[in-house]
Chain A
Amino acid sequence: MTPPAGSLLSAEQLRKAYGPTLALDGAEFSIHPGEVVAVMGPSGSGKSTLLHCLAGIVPPDSGTITYNGRELSAMNDSQRSALRRSEFGFVFQFGQLVPELTCVENVALPLRLNGTSRSEAERAALTWMERLEVDDLKKKRPGEVSGGQGQRVAVARSLVTSPRVLFADEPTGALDSLNGERVMELLTDAARSTNAAVVLVTHEARVAAYSDREIVVRDGRSRDMERVV
């Protein structure tokens, strides 16, 4: 199977085992720029592993991942790290903000990792914090803000490098539905306005409803509902 024309990130025949457990068993995936794709499935089905492979966090045992014409699966660790720093953004369920840095420093962190100067990075960070309505938290530390606010700070951080692909793993998992919806709205709005693709791992249908289409992972195999219908 060849990757669909115009896709930004695609994967074919992904296989990945953690010890004796087979997390991915021939999964397929593709996403276009500006598209929001939900990855759904029961827990333990391999959703997160798929995301980790697509983002180049873990290399798959076999299969190919193509990003923007380059083969991700052939890159070494430092090349993949560089790609993650410059082209990808990440939001996780929790445990991602550095507790001793202030919120604005947290948001500026990815830019700083890319070598941007501190003042410039924090200026850019503040713009994104304004967009996500958390600019008043800039001097606070993550321990001093609520879960919803913290997650918005995390979204601001994931967008600050203007990534081409945003990976979100259960981004609202720790939030109530009102906060969760607001985070999803802000996240998808921001992604659409920058034409970023979003890979959204979730088991909640109402979160998945913010996507353009969904794929279902079951027993390590993926099913693209768009192509089936």
Chain B
Amino acid sequence: MSLPTRARPPAPTAGGAPRERGRPRRVAADLAMGVRFALTGGREGWTRAVLTAVGVGLGVALLLLTTAIPNALEVRHEREAARTDITFSDERLAKADDTLMVAGVDTDFRGESVRGRALEPEGPRAPLPPGVERFPAKGEMVVSPALKKLLESDSGALLRERLPDRVVGTIGEEGLIGSAELAFYRGAEGLAPHMDGGRVVRIDGYGNPNATSERSDPVLLLLILVVFVVLLMPVAVFIAAAVRFGGERRDRRLAALRLVGSDSGMTRRIAAGEALAGAALGLVFGAGFFMIGRQLAGTAEVYRISVFPSYLNPSPLLALLVAVAVPTAAVLVTLFALRGVVIEPLGVVRAGRPPRRRLWWRLLLPLAGLAMLYPMIGDGRDNGDFNQYLVTGGVVLLLVGVTALLPWIVEAVVARLGAGGVAWQLAVRRLQLSSGTAARMVNGIAVAVAGAIALQMLFAGVEDDYTQPTGQDVSLAQMEVILPDGVPVTRAADKLRDTEGVQEVYGYSEGYLGDRAREPEHGTTLTVGDCASLREIADLPSCADGDAFAVHGAEWDAGEDMTNLAAPGRKLYLDPSYEGSPKRLEVPWTVPQGVKAAKPRRGLLAGIDRGGFLITPKAMPETLVPALAGHAYLRLDESVPDVHDRVRNTAAAVDPLAAALTWAETKRTGRFDAIRTGLFVGAACVLALIGASLLVSQLEQLRERKKLLSALVAFGTRRRTLSMSVLWQTAIPIVLGLLLASAVGLTLGTVLLKMTNTPVRVDWTGVLSMTGIGAAVVLVVTLLSLPPLLRLMRPEGLRTE
């Protein structure tokens, strides 16, 4: 057993060094003392440190998650590229022992996309898709874990009908782009004849060899940049607020330190040390929260985007930046907060009334922001890239301007508020005495709302550019089923008609005619259908089975083409071949003698004119059948539950390669969707976080007033009065904050729209919804602080412990 070695004080003969300690060492010693106070300062010290740490931790976690998002999107992109099979290239491989037939059999289930592939290996060396260990045989499939769960659940029964194959395994993580992705690979046979370069292809390896990265659109880049700034700014504001948690009690403790002889510089450094401890602890908490959040992110699917935890790795440089910036900011904020405070040995003096807030430098910030953005006005999409630094700087300054202006506005307005009920009076007087605290509490929300309003405006403004009309008229038909070549449409139409919820089915067989078998100069469509169906797409003079029509004057056919092509007896070729592509079927067809003229009718077919030749089944030679693809257009009773999925099931039963499409009026580009999604997710997280911090400081204030509240209740104050005063106390600064946020947000939005050369239009729904969310946060915070308030108001508070 050894005796514990005890540190000995240095012998006095060791050279007098301890007495002559340098200034840096003294500073370090003071900071260390502050750290010790934060960690060993009894229950109160702990509570404060933990509160700060939780606040900072949440902020740090959000920072890390946000900085990890680009990385996550990158990984998703890489995985997607690595499993690409259908590349729409014109190259045709010959069957070999290393080739694989792949058919895209994607489907939708209750609004969710299911990625599906049918696989048929043609030799022992056929490439396995990523994440799949062996090829499923016909009648078997491997599925993603999420799809497996769905198929096993009761709600997945309808999908199970469509995918009856036996599940023989799951797809590994490297084959999926998100934990919640629905995907399957099923075995197939006889795919080769269907090969068309689009839906059915032959490949000898996965991955897109000549994948081009989408050229980054400067406006999209601007959007992403602004989204990041707008999301991270409130987090910074929040962290700044978090290190001030419990500040008033801390000040009193510092006063006690002054009493035992520390000078004002020392107390400041000790306070900084305390903040440092909280921030450092916050970093640890933040790392923890981040790990938890990362795992949670793996189980959650937000706006149809899910990721694997392993995707969320922030870049080391950014993480290091966070680790350095957060404690530094904590110390600076603390010193800044103590600027107006004189800590005397007998208490904290705020020098009576703090000096009136000045307006000019507060106005300077947003104006400087505008000045930075101004030169880029009118640049638009075509004038090259926006200067990232100017954009970031300008947006940051404008938003920081909110936090600078808000305290001034709150002070100026509150000082002028007058008469009202008791609750109002209590709230107004309290705000007059400490308008800064009130403004600080709503700063975060104001910044978040201002940024979000600007973004909403920008989105609404550029939305048209990124939303492509599909031209599909959804009032007459809501779904279309495309059958593989050679599958008779009438049989399919009958089956579809029997499906529950389907009101009407119009079936056509369609193909493309050229004037030559190869390299046709002119061409048009050939549509086969019965009279009733044909009348839906064209105005026919009369119709009997055996008739053929030529539609003149359709939008997509130049008039000469039809007069040229529709000469009776002229020989045309169905499914002509083109240079550089494999040979097509090239089925010859002669324009019948009795071809009648018809007029186009904007009708059922997606609201688009249908031109070309329309022929009734009896007028169609059997030879055409292999070159025609069946299309069925369905009018649905959309009140029937799961009607779309019932139709998809029927289509899959008719032929596994049949594709069922649901029509929509517009289709957004995927990239844009992702940004919008990111904004919503981020704004939701940020506002929730700020709401939490509001709640914490609210409760802290209430706890400090416990005695007073009890006394007020003792002499008969209604609980309602006190609750209302708490509500007013939060609502007044919030209303002011939201007004300012709207003003700044609209200004920023206008400037951003001008920068992208988009007509300025105020998106009032966006403004209202963002301010509404801000107001809702306040309401929720007030509601959540009511139970503790009521508890504090209990007369037991009068008892002295």
Q: Find out whether A and B make contact in their complex, taking CB atoms under 8 A apart as touching.
A: yes
> Interface size for chain A: under 10, 10 to 19, 20 to 34, or 35 or more residues?
20 to 34
Q: Is A85 an interface residue (CB 8 A)?
A: yes
Please state if A98 and B714 are interface contacts (CB–CB under 8 Å).
no
In the complex, what residue of chain B is closest to A93 when comparing beta carbons? B800
A43: min CB distance to chain B, Å: 9
Q: Considering only CB atoms, which chain A residue lies closest to B797 in the complex?
A: A95
Q: A137 at the A/B interface (Cβ < 8 Å)? A: no
Chain B CB within 8 A of A67 CB? no
Q: Does A113 touch B at the CB level, under 8 Å?
A: yes
Stretch at the interface among A6-14, A51-59, A182-190, A207-215: A51-59
Stretch of A24-32, A76-84, A127-135, A220-228 lying at the B interface: A76-84
A118 and B711: CB pair below 8 A?
Answer: no
- Contact with B798, one of A48, A99, A158 (Cβ below 8 angstroms): A48
Within the assembled complex, what's the spacing in Å between the Cα atoms of A158 and B180? 66
Instruction: Report the count of interface residues on B (CB-CB < 8 A).
Output: 26
A78 to B718, CA, bound (A): 8
Among B714, B716, B718, B721, the one with the most A-chain Cβ atoms within 10 Å of its Cβ is B716
A46-90 vs B: 1/0 string, CB under 8 Å? 001100100101100000000000000000001001111110111
Given contact pairs A57-B795, A98-B426, A109-B422, A92 touches B711 in the complex (Cβ within 8 A): yes
With A48-B799, A57-B795, A95-B708 as known contacts, state yes or no: A83 contacts B429, CB within 8 Å. Answer: no
Q: Is the CB of A100 within 8 A of B715?
A: no
Q: Is A150 an interface residue (CB 8 A)?
A: no
B429 touches A105 (CB 8 A): yes
- What's the least CB distance linking B341 to chain A, in Å? 15
Chain B residues with CB under 8 A of A49 = 799
Which B residues are CB-close (under 8 A) to A110?
715-716
Q: How far is the CB of A220 from chain B (nearest CB, A)?
A: 15
What is the chain A residue whose CB lies nearest that of B432?
Answer: A100
The residue among A48, A84, A85, A98 with the most chain B CB atoms within 10 A of its own CB is A98
B433: chain A residues within 8 A (beta carbon)? 99-100, 141
For chain B residues 686-734, which have a beta carbon within 8 Å of chain A?
Answer: 707-708, 711-718, 721
* A101 in contact (CB, < 8 A): yes
Which A residues, 154 to 182, have Cβ-Cβ distances below 8 Å to chain B? 158, 169
With A and B bound together, what is the CA distance between A84 and B716 in angstroms?
Answer: 5
A99 to B707, CA, bound (A): 12
The 0/1 profile, CB within 8 Å of A marked 1, for residues 758-801 of chain B is 00000000000000000000000000000000000001101110
Q: Are A81 and B429 in contact (CB under 8 A)?
A: no
Residues of B within 8 A of A83 (CB): 716
Are A113 and B422 in contact, CB atoms less than 8 angstroms apart?
Answer: yes
Considering the complex, give the chain A residue whose CB is closest to the CB of B794: A58
Question: A55 vs B74: C-alpha distance in the bound complex, in angstroms?
Answer: 70
Q: Measured between alpha carbons, how far is A48 from B714 in the docked complex, in Å?
A: 13
Residues of A within 8 A of B421 (CB): 112
Residues in A whose Cβ lies below 8 Å from that of B708: 95-96, 98-99
Residue of B nearest to A102 (CB): B429
Select from chain A the residue with minimum beta-carbon distance to B420.
A118
Q: Whole-angstrom distance from the CB of B692 to the nearest CB of chain A?
A: 26
Cα(A99)–Cα(B222), bound, Å? 50
Residue B134 interfacial (CB < 8 Å):
no
Cβ contact within 8 Å between B426 and A101: yes
| Residues of chain A lying within 8 A (CB to CB) of residue B716 | 81-86, 88, 110, 113
Q: Contact between B795 and A52 (Cβ–Cβ < 8 Å)?
A: yes
Pair A90/B419 contact, Cβ less than 8 Å: no
- Residues of B close to A90: CB separation below 8 A: 711, 714-715
Chain B residues positioned under 8 Å from A112 (CB to CB): 421-422, 425
> Shortest distance in angstroms between B347's beta carbon and chain A's nearest beta carbon?
11
B430 at interface, CB cutoff 8 A: yes
Q: Are A58 and B426 in contact (CB under 8 A)?
A: no
A112 to B718, CA, bound (A): 12
CA distance A85 to B720 in the complex (A): 14
Contacts of B795 in A (CB 8 A): 52, 57-58
B window 412-434: CB within 8 A of A = 419, 421-422, 425-426, 429-430, 432-434
In the bound complex, what is the Cα–Cα distance between A6 and B716 (angstroms)? 26
Determine if A52 and B798 form an interchain contact, defined as CB atoms under 8 angstroms apart: yes
Complex CA–CA separation, A110 to B432 (angstroms): 22
Q: Which residue of B lies closest to A82 (CB)?
A: B716
By beta carbon, the residue of chain A nearest B419 is A118
B186-197 CB mask vs A (1 if < 8 Å, else 0) is 000000000000
Q: Can you list, as one digit per residue, whether each of A102-121 has a CB less than 8 Å from chain B (1) or not (0)?
A: 00010001101100001000
In the complex, residue of chain A having the shortest beta-carbon distance to the beta carbon of B433: A100
A53 to chain B, nearest CB (A): 10
Q: Which residues of A have CB within 8 Å of B712?
A: 98
Asked, given contacts A98-B426, A100-B429, whether A55 binds B714 with beta carbons under 8 Å apart, the answer is yes
Q: Which residues of A contact B711 (CB under 8 A)?
A: 90, 92, 95-96
Contact A101 B425 (CB under 8 A): yes
**What 4 A-B pairs have minimum CB-CB distances, sorted nearest first?**
A85-B716, A84-B716, A95-B707, A96-B711
- Could you list 19 examples of A-B contacts with CB < 8 Å? A52-B798, A57-B795, A58-B795, A78-B718, A81-B713, A83-B716, A86-B716, A95-B707, A98-B426, A98-B712, A101-B425, A101-B429, A105-B425, A110-B715, A112-B425, A113-B715, A118-B425, A141-B433, A158-B715
Q: What residues make up the interface of B, taking CB atoms closer than 8 Å to A?
A: 419, 421-422, 425-426, 429-430, 432-434, 707-708, 711-718, 721, 795-796, 798-800
Known: A48-B799, A81-B718. 6 other contacts (CB 8 A): A78-B718, A96-B708, A101-B426, A110-B715, A112-B425, A113-B715
